[in-house]
Structure 1
Amino acid sequence: MARKRLSTLAITTTLAAVGVGVVGAGAANAATTNTPLAHSQDNTVAKTTAAVKLTDGGANLLTATADLTGTAVDPTLATAATGTLDWGDGNTSTVKFDQKTGAAIAPDAHAYTAAGTYKVLLTVNDGTNPAVTANASASVADIYLNAALSAKSATKTSPVTLALTGSVVTKAVAAGAKTTVDWGDKTTATSFTGDPSLIKASDPKLSHTFTTDGTYTVKVTLDDGQGQVTSTQTQSFTVTVSDKTGVQVLRAAGDTRYDTGLIISQHQWANQGVTTDAQGRQQAKAIVLSTGNAFPDALAGVPLAKKAQGPLLLTDGLQNTTNPAVLAEIQRILPTKGSTVYILGGDQAVSAGIESQISGLGYTVQRLAGADRYATALDIAKVGMGDPSHVIVARGDEGANHDGFADALAAGPYAANVFGGGNSAIVLSSFNTFDPATKAYVTGKLHAGQQDVASVGGQATTAVGSITGSKGLYSSAVGADRYATAAKVAAAFLPAGKADQIGVATGLKFPDALTGGAYMASVDGPLLLTAPSVLPVYTANAITGTTTQQVNIFGGDQAISTTVGNEIAALVKVATVGKF
C-alpha cells in the first residue's frame, strides 16, 4: 500500500511594502530597517521586524508553512503586540509573540484549496510604532511526481521499467492530469491520464526496450491539465544501452569514514546547476547530515535520503564547524536556493555551531531530533518522511559490543525501495522491547487484513510480537546472524533475483554501510553485509544468486579486506576490483 507524497512548493519572493527584505526558500532572513523603534525598559533600542519564509508543509499537497524567523517585537511590548498572516486566499492566521524574547511564534501550516500563486502578507504591530509588513508569493501545485527508473544501464534485449509509486494528484484535477514518458530514442512518447500512482507496475506503458546502443535521456512529465506552469513537474533519467554485459566490481574507499562518504557522493551527484552531467549524475535536491561519531541517529536516515533525493553525509558532530571537505561537497552539489540540509539528532550529536554554519550559507536547515535515539527515529518518520503508512522496525540499542546497528543497515534500502511501495520509515527497538512512544507508533500502524509493519532481525521481531494483537499483522526477516538477516532482506528485495547494482559493507562498523546504504537506496539495490576478513556463506550465496551489472564494496581494506574483496569479485567472475 503506497503512501501518497506531497507536492513541491515553489517560492518566489518580493520586497515588502515597508522596509523589509522577504526571505524565499533557502535564503537568509532579513529584518526591517529605518523604522521607528520602541525602547526597552533600560532604554536600549529594540527593533520591530517582519520577515517570512515559506516552505512546503509536510505530508499534504497544497500546503504552505511559514517560517517567521527574524520577526520580533520589543519583549516589553509582546503582550500587546499583534500579528496577522494573510495567506492570500481570503484566510488569515494570528501571529503571537513570546513574552520573554519578543520573537514571533509561527502559526500552523495552511492548506490551500486549489493550485495557484498566492500573495502572502505578514503584518506586525507592536502597539507603539507604525506597523511593519513583509510579503512573498507562494506558488502551490496540486500534483507530485515521484518516478524511478529500474536501471541506469541496459542491453538491447532487456527492457527498462518505470515506477510511479508515490506520485499523486488531487482528486479535483485527477481526471484531467496527464503523464507523458519520452524515452529519448525518437519513439512515440507514452502518455496516460489520471492519477499515475494507479498505473500498475506491470503495465506495458511503463516498460521500454531500446534497439540501438547509445545514451538516452528519459523524461517523465506530469501535468495537471490546468494550464499553469507551476502545475507541471518533470524528472529525467539517463540510460546507457550496450551489448557489453560484463559485471563491474567497484570499491569506494577513503582514508576516513568521512572521505568514503564523500567518494560515494561524488560518484553519484552532479555539480549544482547541472541537471544531468556527462557521467549520468543528477543534481541533488537535499542532503542528510549526521554525526560520524555514533550510529543511532543515522539509522533511520537512509529512507529519508532517498525521499529527499540526496546523499547521506557524515561529519564530526562534536566540532563547532562542519568537516571542511564535507562542507565543500555540500556546496558542490547543493544550490542554496530551495535546498534543505536535514540534520539528524540533537546538538549533542551534531553541534549547534555546525547548524549555524550551514544555515549561514543560505541553506534551509531542518533538524530532526528527539530526546534520545528512539525519539529521533520517530521524528524522522513523522516529520522527515511525512508519517508514511508503512514502517520497518529494527534494533537500535547500543548492544554489548556497540554493534546493535547491523539489522537496520540492511533495512534502509529495503524501506526506501520495496516495502510500502518504497516509502517506508524506520523506527528502532531497544533490543527486544520498545519505549512507550515507539510502541504506540508501531501499534498504530498494525491493521487487520494488511501488513504495514515489517521487522528486521530477531530482537525487533520479538519487540513487535510483544504488542497485543500483532500476530499475523506484520512480516519479518530473521536470519541466524546479521549476515543471514541481510541476505533474507535482499531476497525479499529481489524476488526475481535481479538488480542493476548490489552493495556490500562490513557488518561490524556502521559508517560505510550508512553512506553506502543511502547510495544503494537511490539506485534501487540491496545492501549485504560481510565480516572484515571472512565472507559469510549467506552473503556469498546472495551474490551468486543475483543477476547484476555492478557490485559495490563500501569501505577500505580495514573494513573489508583485500582477500574478501577479491573473493567477491571472483564470485561474479571479475578479475580486478576497480575504483568507485
Structure 2
Amino acid sequence: MKKTIVLSALFALSLPFAQVNAAENAPTYRYAGENRFDTSVALADEWLESDVAVLATGRNYPDALSATPLAAKHEAPLLLTDTKSVPSKVLAKLKDLGVTKVYLIGGTGVISADVETQLKNNGVKTIVRIAGNDRYETSVKVAKEVGMNSGTLVVASGQNYPDALSIAPVAGIIQAPILLTRSTDLPGVVKTYVKSANADYSIVAGGSSVVSAKATETLPDMVRLGGSNRYTTNTQIVDFAVEEGIYDMDYPFIATGADFPDALSASALAAGLFNGVILTDPNEPKTTTKETVQFYSDLVEEYQVVGGEKALPDSTIAKLFQ
C-alpha cells in the first residue's frame, strides 16, 4: 500500500501502516523504477508538494555526496538527473510537486548548462548551481549553503561513496554539512572552512584506511565511526544514531552498498523519517548487516527497500532475516 507523506516544519510526518506481506517480520515496501532516475522519482512521490528540489548527477558520486543535508534543510526531495538532460519522469515530478527553485549540485561537467535551460523551459523560476573546482570545494560550498546551526561537521571520504552515504541521513537530521576529504590529508579548501566554521564537534565516517589520522588532525572534538569495510562502518553509524536518539528505526531503508544512486536518493527521505539507510551486499549480505537488521527488528513497522530487483533482489532481503 502506497504511503503519502507531507514534509512540514521540523519534519513533522504522518505515515500510515502498510499492508503486511510477511508473517514473522515487518512488511517491506519497495521504491523502484526502471532506472536510477525513476527510482529517485519513486522516492520523491512521498512529497505531496515542495517549492524546492535538489538535483544531483546520477552518473557519478563525488559532487552528489554532500547534497543530503541541503535537501533536508529545505525538506525537499533529492532527485537524480542525467548529465545533459533531465529525465522526463524527473521533469514531470518537479512540475507535479510545484517546484519553483532547484539546487544543482556540481559544475557543468557533471550537470550541463543544457539542464538549466531545460528546467527554465519547464517552469522552474530559480536555479542555484553549487559548484567548486573539485569535489572538495563543492562540498565546502554546499556546507556554506547548509550553514553551521548544529555546531557539528561531518567528514567522509570523497574518493569513494559508501561511508558518505551511510552518514548522510544522520547529517540531514542534525543539519550538519558533509565535507569530503582525501584519505591522506584534509584538502586545503576544506581545512580553511573547518577553521572558519568554529564547529564544536565533528563526526568522521570511515576507518583510518579511508580517512587517515592525519586528515583529522584539525577537526574539533572528533568521533570516528568506522569499521573494516563499508558494511561494518554502516553498522557503526546506525548504532551510533540509535544510541544518540537520531534514528527511530521504525521505517529503516535498505539499499545496495555496491552502487551509489539508490542510497543517495533515499537519504533525504530517510532523514525526513528520522531513519537511516542500511547498506547491504546485493548478493550475499555480510554477517554484520544481518545482525544489524535483526537487532533492531522489534522497532520496525516497515522496511523501505530501495531499487529494483536487479539492484537488490528479494532473495537478498530474505537472507537478512535468516
Q: Which amino acid aligns with 2:204?
A: S
Q: Which has the higher contact order (CA 8 A, sep 6+)?
A: 2
- CA drift at 1:463: 4.6
Residue of 293, 300, 316 corresponding to 1:543? 293
* CA shift for structure 1 position 526: 0.9
Equivalent pair of 2:154/2:203 in contact (CA under 8 Å): yes
1:411 Cα deviation from its structure 2 partner: 0.9
Give the match's secondary structure for 1:376. Answer: helix
Show the 5 A alignment for 1:31-70.
none
User: Does the CA-based 8 Å contact 1:311-1:519 persist in structure 2?
Assistant: yes
Q: Give 1 or 2 for the bigger CA radius of gyration.
A: 1
Structure 1 distance, partners of 2:67, 2:177, is: 9
8 Å contact from structure 1 (residues 374, 438) kept in 2: yes
Task: Say whether residues 1:350 and 2:111 are aligned partners.
Answer: yes
Gaps of 5+ in 1: 1-144, 150-236, 271-282, 398-403, 572-580
* Cα distance change of structure 1 residues 555 and 405 upon mapping to structure 2, 3 Å threshold: same
Moved more, 363-372 or 496-505: 496-505
Note if 1:474 corresponds to 2:222. Answer: yes
- Partner residue in 2 for 1:460: 211
TM alignment of 1:200-279, pairs within 5 A: 237-238=13-14, 240=16, 247-266=26-45, 268-270=46-48
The whole-number CA distance in structure 1 between the counterparts of 2:313 and 2:62 is 26
- After superposition, the C-alpha distances for 1:377-407 in whole angstroms (9 at most, x for unaligned) are 1111102x0344321000012xxxxxx1110
2:136 to 374, 390, 409: 374
Q: Could you tell me how far apart the structure 1 residues matched to 2:98 and 2:213 are?
A: 41
CA distance in 2, matches of 1:285, 1:460: 36
Q: Do the aligned residues in 1 keep the contact of 2:183 with 2:212 (CA within 8 Å)? A: no
- Correspondence 1:117-136 to 2 at 5 A: none
Using structure 1 for the length normalisation, give the TM-score.
0.49
Q: Does 1:415 align with 2:191?
A: no
How big is each residue's C-alpha offset from its partner over 1:31-70, in whole Å with a ceiling of 9 and x where there is no partner? xxxxxxxxxxxxxxxxxxxxxxxxxxxxxxxxxxxxxxxx
Q: 1:356-377 deviations in whole A, cap 9, x for unaligned?
A: 2213424211111111111111
**What is the alpha-carbon distance in structure 2 between the residues aligned to residue 345 and residue 331 of structure 1?**
22
- Of residues 308, 313, 324, the one that matches 2:79 is 313
State the alpha-carbon separation in 2 of the partners of residues 503 and 366 from structure 1.
29
AA partner of residue 454 (structure 1): I
The equivalent residue for 1:330 is 94
Deviation at 1:567, TM superposition (A): 2.1
What is the CA–CA distance in structure 1 between the aligned matches of 2:214 and 2:135, rounded to whole Å?
16
Contact 1:393 1:428 in 2 (8 A): yes
Q: Is the 8 A contact 2:72 2:175 kept in 1?
A: no
State how far apart, in whole Å, the 2-side matches of 1:493 and 1:340 are: 31
| Alpha-carbon distance between aligned partners in 1 of 2:82 and 2:189, rounded to the nearest angstrom | 29
Secondary structure in 2 matching 1:342? strand
Q: Aligned in 2, Cα 1:305/1:296: closer, same or farther, shift over 3 Å?
A: same
| C-alpha distance 307-500 of structure 1, shift in aligned 2 (>3 A) | same
For the residue of structure 2 that corresponds to 1:424, the secondary structure is coil
Cα drift, residue 303 of structure 1: 1.2
What residue is the counterpart of 2:5 in the other structure?
A: none
3-state secondary structure, aligned to 2:252 = strand
Q: Of residues 343, 363, 383 in structure 1, which corresponds to 2:125? A: 363
Secondary structure of 2:183's match? coil
The percentage of counterpart residues that share the same residue type is 28
Determine which structure has the larger strand proportion and give its number. 1
Change (3 A) 1:463 1:308: farther
SS at match of 1:357: helix
Number of aligned positions between the proteins: 303
2:3 maps to none
For the pair 1:442 / 2:218, whether they are aligned, the reply is no
8 Å CA contact 1:260–1:512 kept in 2: the answer is yes
- Which one has a larger percent helix, Structure 1 or Structure 2? 2
Change (3 A) 1:505 1:463: farther
DSSP-derived class of the 1:238 partner: coil
Q: Is 1:427 aligned with 2:179?
A: yes
Measure the CA separation in 1 of the matches of 2:125 and 2:143.
Answer: 22
Give, in whole Å, the separation in 1 of the partners of 2:214 and 2:68: 22
1:405 correspondence with 2:161: yes
For the 8 Å contact 1:502–1:520, the answer to whether it is kept is yes
Measure, in 2, the Cα distance between the counterparts of 1:505 and 1:260: 12
CA RMSD after TM alignment? 2.3
What are the superposed Cα offsets for residues 195-226 of structure 1, whole Å, 9 maximum, x if unpaired?
A: xxxxxxxxxxxxxxxxxxxxxxxxxxxxxxxx
2:308 maps to 1:556 = yes
1:501 aligns with 2:262: no
Matches of 1:462 and 1:405 in 2, distance apart?
19
* Aligned counterparts of 1:555 and 1:549: Cα–Cα separation in 2: 20
CA offset digits 1:474-518 (Å, max 9, x no partner)? 111011211010111101111268422111111120011100112
Long gaps (5+) in structure 2: 1-7
Contact residue 252 and residue 264 of structure 1 kept, 8 A: yes
Deviation of the 1:351 alpha carbon: 0.8
